[in-house]
Amino acid sequence: MRVGSPQHRDLFCRTFIETHRVFEPADLPWPQLEARHIDLLRAFPFWAFALSMEQEADRMIAAFARTIEDPLIREAVELQGAEEARHGRLLKTLFEQYGIAVAPLPPSTKPVGRDDFLDFGFSECTDSVIGFGGFALARQKQIFPPELLDIFEHVLYEEARHIVFFINWWRYEEAVAGRNNPLVRLANALKHSVRAVMHTAQGAQGAAVAPAALDLTGGGSQAILEGVSAKMFLEFALAENQRMMQRIDPRLLRPRIVPTLATAALLGLRMLPPREPVPSKELVAT
């Protein structure tokens, strides 16, 4: 199948649409949690920013979808926007279920263009791999009951579908426009990725959550990251990324920049002499 062909477009759009799961967050089997679990959830430093990101994604994607002429691509992008809106509702349901007080941030009214969708797509490629690593560690360390992690496993699978859809959409658009130089493509991908990371950092500062969000040493974050070296985190993130990608049609392209950089960083770390005498034997990436 040629990237940029109508068959490619049909495959990445239909795969995305057909793997959409219909549910409402309020209907999910939210488990009863012990007080220590609720305390850990309350202590996560980034809830307000996470909620604001999901709500802004919904607004931005809905606006971008209205500019798309191809009806099949538009349908798939609208569906992604609906899933982001549902992520926002899922977070609100979590807050209600467990009594987590989160002050909402003011919604954005910024005009939306195609570049916003590109920045967002590349930022999801970065954020998802970090999220996969944190999630895999939380499961391995049994920090939360499996019933709660099962709910978030589905959210992460949706993010895996989003980044695969996004990369295929981007490569399709580049091919249709005749932009086939891989070096130019890589430079563009890096440009959007760097801009996306800067945007996230600025957004976190604007949300006045930067010290906690970027520090990530409080509560649940600390419980997940305690005793975890950078090498171990990368091993978990890459293993979970691979597991998520294996659930998606193998004919589709996958995001490659972040996994490649993470693999290179891991190889570099493995070549360093060990700094700590005994790493935890309980943590083994599968």
Nearer to Fe ion, 23 or 227 (CB): 23
As measured in angstroms, the least distance from the Cβ of 109 to Fe ion is: 21
Q: Per the structure block, which two tokens stand in for 28? A: 């999910």
Q: Does residue 161 belong to the site contacting Fe ion (CB under 5 A)?
A: no
Instruction: List, as one string, the DSSP characters of 10-68.
Output: HHHHHHHHHT-----GGGS-PPP--HHHHHHHHT-TTHHHHHHHHHHHHHHHHHHHTT-
Nearest alpha-carbon partner for 188 in 128, 129, 122: 122
Q: Does residue 235 belong to the site contacting Fe ion (CB under 5 A)?
A: no
The interface with Fe ion within residues 14-33 (CB under 5 A) comprises none
Q: Counting every residue, how long is the chain?
A: 286
Q: Do the beta carbons of residue 235 and residue 285 sit within 8 Å?
A: yes
The interface with Fe ion within residues 246-285 (CB under 5 A) comprises none
As measured in angstroms, the least distance from the Cβ of 157 to Fe ion is: 11
As measured in angstroms, the least distance from the Cβ of 93 to Fe ion is: 14
Q: Per the structure block, which two tokens stand in for 80? A: 């992604």
Find the binder of Fe ion among 162, 204, 220, 244 (CB under 5 A).
162
As measured in angstroms, the least distance from the Cβ of 237 to Fe ion is: 17
Count of residues touching Fe ion (by CB under 5 A): 4
Nearer to Fe ion, 82 or 176 (CB): 82
Return the range that interacts with Fe ion (CB under 5 A); candidates 98-106, 158-166, 187-195, 247-255.
158-166
Nearest alpha-carbon partner for 174 in 162, 164, 186, 163: 186
Environment class of residue 230 by beta-carbon count within 10 Å: exposed (0-12), middle (13-18) or buried (19+)? exposed
Nearer to Fe ion, 26 or 230 (CB): 26
Q: Does residue 87 belong to the site contacting Fe ion (CB under 5 A)?
A: yes
Binding site for Fe ion (CB under 5 A): 84, 87, 159, 162
